[in-house]
Structure 1
Amino acid sequence: MKDIPTIAVVGTFDSKGEEHLFLKERIEARGLHALTVNVGTGRPSPFRPDIDFYTDLILKKGLMDRGRDGMIQAVISAAGEKILQLYGEGKISGIISAGGGTGTHIGTGIMRVLPMGIPKIMISTVASRDMSSVVGTRDITMMHSVTDIMGVNSLLGEILDRAAAAVCAMAESNWKSPHKKKRIALTMFGFITKAAEQIRKNLEDLGYEVIPFHANGTGGMAMEELAREGYFHGILDLATHELADQLRQGYCKGIGPLRLQPINNRKVPRLVVPGGLDCAVLEFTRGDIPPEFKGRKIFFYDFRSAVRLDLNETKTMAQQLAGKLNQD
């Protein structure tokens, strides 16, 4: 008999208990199990959850004197460990949460400890904002609540029900890749797409599976994390453009310190190409060129423009790239 998937329903039940109880009921109405996990720090849950970090962590360990921020960090850490343990034991098949700014911070902080592939849905009042810092490099699905989360009304109820339907369907998905080939990670971005397409074809003709990553700041870091987790047999780092945008605070900034660093304890061959390293992609159009870039070569792309780096910037890029690669 096929095991029935269990979805972890994680949230701040002190302020959003009604909504998470509704999620639990809608998941169970679809024939799946729900495991309720309270990560609220303000007061007890209005119902008895399956796992209660307010009672078992905040109260038992006397963390109230840490302040709100300290309690939140403690809950994220402890709940993340527990959720990862449950996943490792095969006891959960997905995770869902709903919240405002704080709830989103807590919920996604817990979701990010889980590996790629397990369904992760965050219903959030702030989902329409820049979510790069909370999604990070993980496959978290953000769903905008549109309304605030204060009681299950006719509008929010529809959104929560659809989110429950989505996580249930994700948990029951059973597609497996037919590929048993060695995997090569390939970074790419707009200006060098044709080169990436040709490289993909050539590698596939040689019998490899190519996994492309958009070098947009987050994409490069996602590739690095998966490489450290052992997903790849080789890396073709075609688009090192992220270094240029990090220097000029461009559209593809946001890389972490591990970008292009040696992968400890793993012998993964990496071929590095200075693809797109001669320009930074910035958000301006031909009608509003910043004074500092007038006179430079500029390619007007869409709402973004690619600005050619000057000599000093190019030297800086070369030094940074060489410094990282010479550590390997």
Structure 2
Amino acid sequence: MTKLAHPRILVIGTGDTKADELHFIGDCIAAAGGEAIMMDVSVLGDPPYAPHYDKHVVAQAAETTIEKIADSGDENSAMSLMALGAKRLARRLYDSGDFDAMLAIGGTMGTDLALDVAQALPIGVPKFVASTIAYSHLVPPERIAADLMMILWAGGLYGLNSTCKSVLSQACGAVVGAARSAMKPRSDRPVVAMTSLGKSCLSYMVELKPELERRGYEVVVFHTTGMGGRAMESIAAKKGFAAILDLSLQEVANQLTGSVVNSGADRLENAGKAGIPQIVAPGAIDMVDFPAWLPTPNELLERPYHAHNRLLASATSRPDDRRRIARAIADKLASAQAPVAFVLPAGGIQQWDREGEALHDPEGLAAFVGEMRSAIKPPVELHEINDHINSAAFNATVLGIFDRWVEAGIVPAGRASAAT
């Protein structure tokens, strides 16, 4: 791996209101051995310095002028247009080799713009946002790039102070360090995505991952606790996988039942839109997750309950909700632009739904299985098995479909890994 001696950091902010903070960032990046390249996304004012890319260049990238943006109606429409220009300009600059990483700062306005820029850049390009709303529920999952880094910008509302400097200096050191050491994903084998929920709940990955690796694939496993599914969807939207084994759909169920532990409304949609073949199973769709440190939601008070840890707890959804979830899954898969196979394990869909376990609910499982049978329509393949999802029969079914698709050319053939 070649390490960059002097990483170039694209620094994005509103120079008319945050000039002191941006000057401080430039100094910190230089002190860390990097070079700050300033992009100004101001609308009304001008910074007291000459940015490398001023607001006029940003507006031009959005195919408009800064005057038209200022007159567009309100601050929301103006910043939306600036975000469009900023993300287009940033991607063009990156593709031309003009910077190595990005750092953006802001409150709600600056963060809104920064999230668009981060999504426009490939995975492996360090993306750091210092934000007064970092980790807030104001940031929807679908806006978060797969490898976004954020730091809470304490003391960042108005002007420099010692708290603000402490945070920004950490952000600068982090992004310069990341630019020096980042390894972009470059696999010598076709990449297969797989979703799971930790091997205590869904254990199929223990067998499936090495089997796929023996077939010549790199397997990337995503933890479906909200942001894991979001990361997978983000990469899938950019056609980053040869195939997807989306075997844990708990985030779909969470989104449909109002849980905050979700990946956004487009979960289970991006692979189909991108033409990526999918093998899908309903792992853990019977659980509704919620923060364990909050009271159990009223609608779940009488339902079977399981606490995973001090952060996360689950209760089972009602039979009617599971029928609704089944129909939603079928609708999402029906629009896919590539082959889809749905494996329906009628014997159970997560470890704790077995007889004697905390989330055992045969009525709910039967409601889901029955609805799923009727909801899945050709050309989506339906493969029903009588066994549990954590069984050898389930793994054999998934691998059988995968191997058949490889033989048919639907999934590219695996390759032996080059020596590392």
Q: TM-score range by the shorter chain?
A: 0.7 to 0.9
Partners of 2:217 and 2:235 lie apart in 1 by 17
Structure 2 counterpart of 1:64, one-letter code = A
Residue 13 (structure 1) aligned with residue 15 (structure 2): yes
RMSD: 2.9
- Alpha-carbon distance in structure 2 between the residues aligned to 1:265 and 1:112: 16
State how 1:202-213 maps to structure 2 within 5 Å: 202-213=211-222
Higher mean displacement: 54-63 or 306-315: 54-63
Of 326, 342, 349, the residue aligned with 1:318 is 326
Alignment partner of 1:71 out of 47, 70, 78: 78
* CA distance in structure 1 between the aligned counterparts of 2:268 and 2:77, rounded to whole angstroms: 30
Give ranges in structure 1 of 5+ residues lacking alignment. Answer: none
Structure 1 runs (4+) greater than 6 angstroms displaced: none
- State the shift of 1:159 in Å: 2.6
Shift of 1:290: 4.4
CA drift at 1:48: 1.4
CA distance in 1, matches of 2:69, 2:298: 52
Q: CA deviation at 1:199?
A: 2.4
1:112-123 to 2 correspondence within 5 Å? Answer: 112-123=119-130
Structure 2 counterpart SS, 1:95: strand
> Mapping of 1:179-190 within 5 angstroms?
179-190=187-198
The 5 Å alignment of 1:1-328 reads 4-53=6-55, 57=59, 60-66=66-72, 67-130=74-137, 132-133=139-140, 136-173=144-181, 175=183, 179-190=187-198, 192-257=201-266, 259-260=268-269, 263-264=272-273, 266=275, 268-283=276-291, 288-303=295-310, 304-328=312-336
Counterparts of 1:155 and 1:289, CA distance in 2: 36
Does the 8 Å CA contact 2:124/2:185 hold for their aligned counterparts?
Answer: no
Q: Is the 8 A contact 1:187 1:236 kept in 2?
A: yes
Q: What CA deviation, in whole Å up to 9, does each residue of 1:151-206 have, x standing for no partner?
A: 33333223322221211111122546685222110111246343333322332343
Q: Report Cα offsets for 1:261-286 as digits up to 9, x if no partner.
A: 663463x331111100122223457x
TM-score, normalised to structure 1's length?
0.87
TM-score by length of 2: 0.69
SS in 1 for 2:204: helix
Between the aligned partners of 1:94 and 1:262, the Cα distance in structure 2 is 27
User: What does residue 343 of structure 2 align with?
Assistant: none
Aligned letter for 2:279? L
CA distance in 2, matches of 1:276, 1:79: 40
One-letter amino acid of the structure 2 residue matched with residue 259 of structure 1 = L
Closer, same or farther: CA 278–162 of 1 in aligned 2, 3 Å = closer
Aligned pairs, number:
326
What secondary structure, in the 3-state scheme, does the structure 1 residue paired with 2:11 have? Answer: strand
SS in 1 for 2:68: coil
Q: Could you tell me which amino acid in structure 1 is paired with residue 258 of structure 2? A: Q
What CA distance in whole angstroms lies between the structure 2 residues aligned with 1:224 and 1:138? 8
Q: Distance in 2 between matches of 1:39 and 1:178?
A: 33
Structure 1 contact 115–138 (Cα < 8 Å) conserved: no
Report the residue type matching 1:136 in the other structure. I
Point out where structure 2 has 5 or more consecutive residues left out of the alignment. Answer: 337-420
Over the matched positions of the two proteins, sequence identity in percent amounts to 26
SS of the residue corresponding to residue 285 of structure 2 reads coil
Letter in 2 for 1:93: D
Counterpart-to-counterpart distance in 2, 1:204 and 1:114: 28
Which residue identity is paired with 1:92? F
Cα distance between partner residues in 1 of 2:43 and 2:259 = 38
- Per the alignment, in what secondary structure is the counterpart of residue 184 of structure 1? strand
Q: Is the 8 A contact 2:249 2:281 kept in 1?
A: yes
